């Protein structure tokens, strides 16, 4: 499989293709096996637990997490909790009609609970708690007359509790806690017997069971069918937002890795063991310097000599692509040096041509790439050094607070930089990695967008995954999470998340959102439904003007819309920012030309 490991989504695709071709070729596998293979196809990532489900087996009975009836070889137990499974639940689960136990709790499943589960008439226990399942509870579950346990707590389910669940005469354990359910809890059948602890932490449940009287305006009454479908349509709208969250949560595992790398880098910066030779070794084996536009007024020899002196003390940051060093020349000019470890040969040419293009892009709100050093082991990209560090640090690490005007100005600068990449560059450039650590600040807190084009450059290598690991997740648009295909509008989404981050002072995946099963976009969407969106603002931010806040929120809401067509272009964003958010000075209008 080595070849398909090249790329993350290539891998999915290949695995999907493999599954399809293999299932087509080998008719031998039992129908239950086929259903499970579709289940696996809908899983987009996991900790690897499903890797050894071999389509060439005659039946799935020895697959991990699967148990069969020894006589009939039909699947009776599918139990894969705590395996970071992410994706939707395949409706083909409904084909496992002898299934007694379905235990998929504490994974990252998203999307709806498939109503087809109602076909698994033998089901006795369903454990789906601790996922990101959304939309409403399918009333088809009421068909499962053998059901004893139904735990769907801690998901993102919305809508009403279906009355039909009251038919589940054998139900002993029922838990729908911590979802977004609303309406009156039906008093039908067995449902009357459950107490408050089965219902805690929902958005708006009422009824005898929770000792809350219902206002007489809804609930799953006789017309429950229409109301449920309206509800699920509403839920569908939110779905994409949730999708992102959950897909992000998948990447949560990766985040952990990233955190570890980051921590590693931090420790390295602080107490790094002395392998300062690293860089020197890079350049000693015969390096060459490529400068763009005479942007570096030094001889190659001078630069290389300087590079040889760099060691871990000069590290100013670590990211998905590698370490960043501070390079101070003798004449007082300072640069940032980004070390990208060499990829395979043959890639070089392509890489260099792309760098040439990136080096030709100059704009007031973009970080200037001045040249690079080409060595046998690495590429060392030489950028302008931005003394203000990254927006990420400014928002989350430094003690002094950015006030309202400073925040607006940063947002505007970032928007202009990005608009330039999207609309004024030829070829157009999709950034792909918009996040607060890629917005750098100069000494006057003016923003500059950095690392444009790099994600694309490196994505064909393993680095694609690194980009995501490096913290981009939380900023990624739902359709990008699904397809892996970047468009301008995926950048617009990330920009919207960035705006929310600047407004709230919280990282997109701040613990306070995650606790609620949401990320920053999910939280915003929730606040919007309650018309409380202003509450997202950082209380420590001084000088807020309500009018421009409302205008900015409305832009952010459009940018993080789950459907790309509803997001504005960056040009439009800049226009809106200038006309409605930033109080305009008469003489100060947008100039899209490079300096
Ligand atoms: N041109 C620069 N000037 C100043 N600091 C920089 C520059 N480029 C990068 N940095 C710092 O190095 C850190 C790591 O950068 P990078 O490798 O791009 O990773 P990431 O963008 O994922 O944080 C940044 O967060 C920033 O603090
Ligand atoms: C179902 O399978 C899981 C994992 O294989 C196992 O832990 C569990 O005990 C099984 N349940 C029953 C009732 O067989
Ligand atoms: C569920 O059962 C219905 C009717 O028995 C059938 O039409 C449908 O195809 C079944 N769905 C699945 C996924 O097996
Ligand atoms: C509710 O619980 C009581 C006592 O445990 C039992 O007698 C009754 O049958 C239950 N009702 C339903 C509908 O299951
Ligand atoms: C239901 O789940 C919630 C959240 O996991 C938990 O706090 C509660 O105790 C559970 N209720 C029952 C009846 O076990
Ligand atoms: C229900 O609420 C009422 C008034 O708030 C209270 O008197 C009663 O004890 C509560 N009953 C239960 C079962 O909690
Ligand atoms: Mg960066």
Q: CATH number, domain at 43?
A: 3.80.10.10
Distances from the Cα of 495 to the Cα of 213, 417, 428, angstroms: 44, 11, 17
Q: Answer with the residue of higher pLDDT: 379 or 515.
A: 379
Tokens 């039946």 belong to which residue?
59
- Predicted confidence band of residue 229 (pLDDT cuts 50, 70, 90): very low
Residues annotated in the binding site for ATP, as ranges? 342
Return phi, psi of residue 371, to 5°.
Answer: 170, -175
Binding site membership of 190 for ligand 4 (Cβ less than 6 Å): yes
Q: Do the domain assignments include residue 5?
A: no
Cα separations (Å) of 574 from 409, 454, 490, 521, 552? 12, 24, 16, 21, 11
In this prediction, residues 524-542 reach a mean pLDDT of 90
DSSP code for 589: -
Q: Give the predicted TM-score (pTM) of the model.
A: 0.53
The C-alpha torsion from 552 through 557 and 561 to 567, rounded to 10°, is -20
Strand partners, 338: 324, 381
13 occurs within a structural domain:
no
Predicted confidence at residue 164, as pLDDT, reads 94
Looking at the structure, tell me whether residues 212 and 339 fall in a common domain. no
Alpha-carbon gap, residue 258 to 254, rounded angstroms? 6
Largest interatomic CA distance in the chain: 85
309 or 471, which is more confident? 309
423 vs 27, which has greater pLDDT?
A: 423
Q: Based on the domain organization, do 325 and 206 belong to the same domain?
A: no
Q: Do both 396 and 381 map to the same domain?
A: no
Task: Select the more confidently predicted residue: 18 or 82.
Answer: 82
Average pLDDT over residues 66-93: 94
At which of 163, 192, 226 does a domain end? 226
Distance CA 220, CA 214 (A): 12
Ligand 1 binding site (Cβ under 6 Å of any ligand atom): 316-321, 324, 336, 338, 367, 383-386, 389-390, 392-393, 437-438, 440, 450-451, 470
Q: What is the pLDDT of residue 289?
A: 80
More reliable by pLDDT, 123 or 300: 123
Asked whether 195 lines ligand 4 (CB < 6 A), one says: no
Taking Cα atoms as reference points, which of 547, 488, 479, 478 lies closest to residue 519? 478
Distance of CA 442 to the CA centre of its chain: 28
**Position 73 confidence tier, pLDDT thresholds 50, 70, 90:** very high
Residue 169 lies in a domain: yes
Give the per-residue pLDDT at 595.
Answer: 40
Atom number in ligand 5 closest to CA 195 = 13
Q: Is residue 517 part of a domain?
A: yes
56-70, 132-146, 302-316, 574-588: the lowest-pLDDT one: 574-588
Looking at residue 472, its pLDDT comes to 66
Tell me: do 308 and 405 sit in the same domain: no
Residue 433 annotated as catalytic: yes
DSSP-based helix, strand, coil % in the chain, nearest 5 = 45, 15, 40
In the predicted structure, residue 231 carries a pLDDT above the cut 80: no
Please give the structure tokens belonging to residue 205.
Answer: 């449940």
Of 342, 361, 385, the residue at which a domain comes to its end is: 385
Q: For 388-441, how does the pLDDT look when each residue is reduced to its tens digit (9 = 90+)? A: 999 999 999 887 789 999 999 999 999 999 999 999 988 889 998 899 999 999
Is there a domain that residue 266 lies in? Answer: no
Q: Based on the fold, state whether residues 374 and 432 are members of the same structural domain.
A: no
Identify whether the C-beta of residue 105 lies closer than 8 Å to the C-beta of residue 83: no
Edge-to-edge strands, sheet with 125-127:
66-68, 75-79, 101-103, 125-127, 149-151, 173-175
| Angle formed at CA 586 by CA 582 and CA 590, multiple of 5 degrees | 60
Strands (E), 176-249: 180-184, 204-206
Which residue out of 433, 491, 510, 538 is catalytically annotated? 433
Is 255 contained in some domain? no
CB proximity list for 306: less than 8 A, separation 6 or greater: 327, 329, 330
Instruction: Tell which atom from ligand 2 comes closest to the C-alpha of 64.
Output: 5
CA of 544 to the centre of ligand 7 (A): 29
pLDDT band at 481 (very low <50, low <70, confident <90, very high): confident
**Distance from C-alpha of 430 to C-alpha of 47, rounded to nearest angstrom:** 31
Same domain? 49 vs 101: yes
CA–CA separation, 251 and 46 (whole Å): 10
Share of the chain above pLDDT 70, in %: 76
Mutating to test ligand 5, I would choose from 177, 194, 199, 209 the residue with most ligand atoms within 8 A of its C-beta, which is: 177
Helices 488-504 and 520-529: crossing angle in degrees, nearest 10, is 70
**Position 464 confidence tier, pLDDT thresholds 50, 70, 90:** very low
Which of 98-112, 138-152, 212-226 has the weakest average pLDDT?
Answer: 212-226
pLDDT digit string (tens) for 234-276?
Answer: 333 333 333 333 344 333 333 333 344 344 444 443 443 334 4
- The CA distance from 247 to 161, in Å, is 26
Tell me how far apart the terminal alpha carbons of the chain are, to the nearest angstrom: 49
The C-alpha angle with vertex 544 and arms to 518 and 549, in degrees rounded to 5, equals 55
pLDDT averaged over every residue in the chain: 80
pLDDT of residue 233: 38
- Determine which residue's CA is closest to atom 5 belonging to ligand 2: 65
Gyration radius (Cα) of the chain, Å: 27
CA 195 – ligand 4 centroid, Å = 12
- Average pLDDT of the segment spanning 347-370: 84
Domain span holding position 112: 23-226
Q: Is residue 9 part of a domain?
A: no
Please report the sign of the dihedral spanned by the C-alpha atoms of residue 399, residue 404, residue 410, residue 415: positive
Could you give the CA distance from residue 90 to residue 201 in angstroms, rounded to a whole number?
Answer: 28
Q: Which atom of ligand 4 is nearest to the CA of 169?
A: 14
What total of structural domains would you count in the chain?
3
In a domain, 540, yes or no: yes
Q: What is the arithmetic mean of pLDDT over 484-488?
A: 82
Q: Which residue has the tokens 């994974």?
A: 107
How many angstroms is it from 561 CA to the middle of ligand 3?
35
**Residue ranges with strand state E in 464-505:** none
**Are residue 578 and residue 449 in the same domain, yes or no?**
yes
Name the burial class of residue 21, with classes exposed (0-12), middle (13-18) and buried (19+) by CB atoms within 10 angstroms of its CB. exposed
Give the up-direction half-sphere exposure of residue 579: CA atoms within 13 A in the CB hemisphere: 7
- Cα 20 from Cα 86, distance rounded (Å): 19
DSSP run (H or E) holding 556 = helix 546-559
What CATH number does the domain containing 538 carry?
1.10.510.10
Domain finish residue from 385, 413, 432:
385
Most confident of the ranges 116-120, 219-223, 471-475, 509-513: 116-120
In the Cβ-directed half-sphere of 449, how many Cα atoms lie within 13 Å?
Answer: 33
State whether the beta carbon of 575 lies less than 6 angstroms from ligand 2. Answer: no
User: What is the model's pLDDT at position 186?
Assistant: 94
Answer yes or no: do 419 and 348 share one domain: no
Residue % of the chain over a pLDDT of 90? 47
As beta bridge partners, residue 109 has 87
Query: Which one has a higher pLDDT value, 276 or 67?
Result: 67
Q: Is residue 369 domain-shared with residue 412, that is, in the same domain?
A: no
Do the Cβ atoms of 114 and 68 come closer than 8 Å?
no
Poorest-pLDDT segment among 151-160, 285-294, 313-322: 285-294
Give the whole-angstrom CA distance, residue 473 versus residue 475. Answer: 5
Q: Rounded to an integer, what is the distance from CA 218 to the centroid of its chain?
A: 35
Is the domain of 409 the same as that of 364?
A: no
Assign residue 310 the CATH number of its domain.
3.30.200.20
Give pLDDT, residue 243. Answer: 36
pLDDT at 242: 37
CA torsion sign, 264 to 270 to 271 to 277?
A: positive
Same domain, 568 and 431: yes
Identify whether the C-beta of residue 282 lies closer than 8 Å to the C-beta of residue 339: yes
| 444 and 295 share one domain | no
Higher-pLDDT residue of 23 and 152 is: 152
Confidence at residue 458, expressed as pLDDT on a 0 to 100 scale? 64
């Amino acid at each position: 499989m080595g070849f398909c490991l090249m790329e993350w989504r290539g891998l999915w695709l290949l695995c999907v293709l493999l599954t399809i071709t293999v299932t087509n070729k080998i008719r031998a596998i039992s129908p239950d096996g086929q259903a499970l293979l579709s289940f696996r196809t809908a899983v987009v990532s996991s900790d690897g637990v499903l890797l050894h489900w071999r389509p060439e087996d005659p039946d799935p009975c020895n697959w991990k997490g699967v148990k069969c009836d020894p006589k009939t070889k039909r699947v009776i137990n599918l139990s894969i909790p705590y395996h970071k499974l992410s994706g939707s639940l395949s409706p083909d689960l409904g084909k496992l009609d002898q299934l007694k136990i379905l235990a998929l709790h504490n994974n990252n499943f998203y999307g709806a609970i498939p109503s087809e589960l109602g076909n698994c008439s033998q089901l006795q226990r369903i454990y789906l708690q601790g996922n990101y399942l959304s939309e409403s509870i399918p009333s088809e579950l009421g068909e499962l007359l053998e059901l004893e346990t139904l735990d769907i707590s801690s998901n993102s389910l919305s809508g009403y509790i279906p009355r039909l669940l009251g038919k589940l005469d054998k139900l002993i354990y029922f838990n729908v806690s911590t979802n977004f359910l609303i309406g009156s809890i039906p008093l039908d059948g067995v449902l009357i017997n459950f107490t408050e602890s089965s219902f805690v932490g929902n958005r708006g449940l009422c009824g005898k069971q929770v000792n809350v009287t219902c206002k007489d305006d809804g609930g799953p009454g006789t017309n429950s069918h229409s109301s449920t479908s309206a509800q699920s349509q509403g839920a569908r709208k939110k779905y994409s937002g949730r999708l992102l969250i959950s897909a992000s949560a998948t990447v949560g595992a990766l985040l952990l890795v990233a955190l570890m790398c980051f921590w590693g880098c931090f420790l390295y910066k602080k107490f790094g063991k002395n392998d300062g030779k690293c860089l020197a070794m890079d350049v000693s084996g015969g390096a060459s310097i490529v400068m763009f536009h005479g942007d570096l007024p030094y001889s190659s020899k001078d630069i290389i000599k300087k590079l040889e002196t760099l060691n871990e003390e000069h590290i100013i940051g670590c990211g998905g692509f590698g370490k960043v060093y501070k390079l101070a020349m003798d004449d007082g000019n300072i640069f940032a040096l980004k070390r990208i470890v060499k990829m395979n040969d043959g890639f070089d040419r392509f890489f260099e041509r792309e760098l040439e293009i990136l080096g030709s892009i100059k704009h007031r709100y973009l970080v200037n790439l001045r040249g690079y050093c080409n060595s046998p082991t690495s590429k060392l990209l030489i950028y302008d050094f931005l003394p203000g560090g990254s927006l990420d640090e400014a928002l989350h690490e430094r003690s002094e607070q950015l006030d309202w005007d400073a925040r607006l100005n940063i947002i505007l600068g970032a928007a202009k930089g990005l608009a330039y990449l999207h609309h004024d560059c030829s070829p157009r450039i999709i950034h792909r990695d918009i996040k607060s650590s890629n917005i750098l600040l100069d000494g006057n807190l003016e923003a500059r967008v950095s690392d444009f084009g790099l994600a694309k450059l490196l994505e064909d290598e393993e680095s694609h995954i690194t980009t995501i690991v490096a913290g981009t997740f939380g900023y990624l648009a739902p359709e990008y999470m699904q397809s892996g295909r970047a468009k301008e509008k995926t950048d617009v989404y990330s920009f919207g998340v960035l705006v929310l981050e600047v407004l709230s002072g919280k990282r997109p995946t701040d613990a306070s959102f995650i606790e609620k099963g949401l990320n920053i976009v999910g939280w915003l969407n929730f606040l919007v439904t309650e018309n409380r969106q202003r509450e997202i603002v950082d209380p420590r931010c001084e000088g807020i003007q309500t009018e421009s806040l409302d205008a900015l929120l409305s832009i952010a809401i459009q940018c993080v819309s789950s459907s790309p067509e509803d997001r504005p272009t960056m040009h439009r964003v800049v226009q809106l920012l200038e006309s409605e958010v930033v109080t305009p000075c008469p003489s100060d209008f947008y100039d899209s030309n490079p300096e």
